[in-house]
Amino acid sequence: MNEHARPLTLSERADELEEQMMQALNEHIITKSVLFRMADGRVEIDNGQALLAANSGKHFLMGADPRLPEMPEKPTLIDFFKARFAPTSHMLQSATHALKGGHSEKVVLSCLLHDIGVASFIRCDHGYWGAQMIEPYVEEEVSWAVRMHQALRFFPNPSVGYEYPQMYVKFFGADYRPEPYIVAEYERARNHKWYMSARLITLNDIYSFDPDAKVDLNDFVDIIGRNFKQPKEGLGFDNSPSAHMWRTLMWPTRFL
The span of 9-17, 26-34, 155-163, 203-211 binding Fe ion (CB under 5 A) equals: 203-211
Q: Spell out the residues 6+ positions from residue 246 whose beta carbon is closer than 8 angstroms to its own.
A: 75, 80, 133, 235, 236
Q: Spell out the residues 6+ positions from residue 212 whose beta carbon is closer than 8 angstroms to its own.
A: none
Q: Spell out the residues 6+ positions from residue 10 whose beta carbon is closer than 8 angstroms to its own.
A: none
Other beta carbons within 10 Å of 104: 13
Nearer to Fe ion, 185 or 205 (CB): 205
- Rule CB under 5 A: say whether 19 interacts with Fe ion: no
CB of 153 to Fe ion, least distance (A): 6
Of 256, 90, 236, nearest to 167 by C-alpha is: 90
**What value, to the nearest 5°, has the Cα angle with vertex 92 and ends 154 and 107?**
65
Which positions from 79 to 118 touch Fe ion by CB under 5 A, shown as an x/- string?
------------------------------------x---
CB of 149 to Fe ion, least distance (A): 6
Identify the DSSP state of 118. I
CB of 53 to Fe ion, least distance (A): 44
Nearer to Fe ion, 28 or 199 (CB): 199
- 85 in Cβ contact with 246 (< 8 Å): no
CA–CA separation, 151 and 132 (whole Å): 16
CB of 253 to Fe ion, least distance (A): 26
The span of 20-28, 48-56, 197-205, 248-256 binding Fe ion (CB under 5 A) equals: 197-205
Of 1, 214, 205, nearest to 110 by C-alpha is: 205
Nearer to Fe ion, 65 or 205 (CB): 205
CB of 206 to Fe ion, least distance (A): 8
Nearer to Fe ion, 62 or 167 (CB): 167
- β-bridge partners, 20: none
CA–CA separation, 111 and 97 (whole Å): 9
Nearer to Fe ion, 25 or 124 (CB): 124
Of 167, 173, 170, 146, nearest to 209 by C-alpha is: 167
User: In this chain, which of 129, 205, 228, 240 binds Fe ion, going by CB under 5 A?
Assistant: 205
Nearer to Fe ion, 79 or 115 (CB): 115
- β-bridge partners, 60: 29
CB of 113 to Fe ion, least distance (A): 10
Nearer to Fe ion, 15 or 115 (CB): 115
Please give the size of the binding site for Fe ion, defined by CB under 5 A.
2
Interface residues toward Fe ion, by CB under 5 A = 115, 205
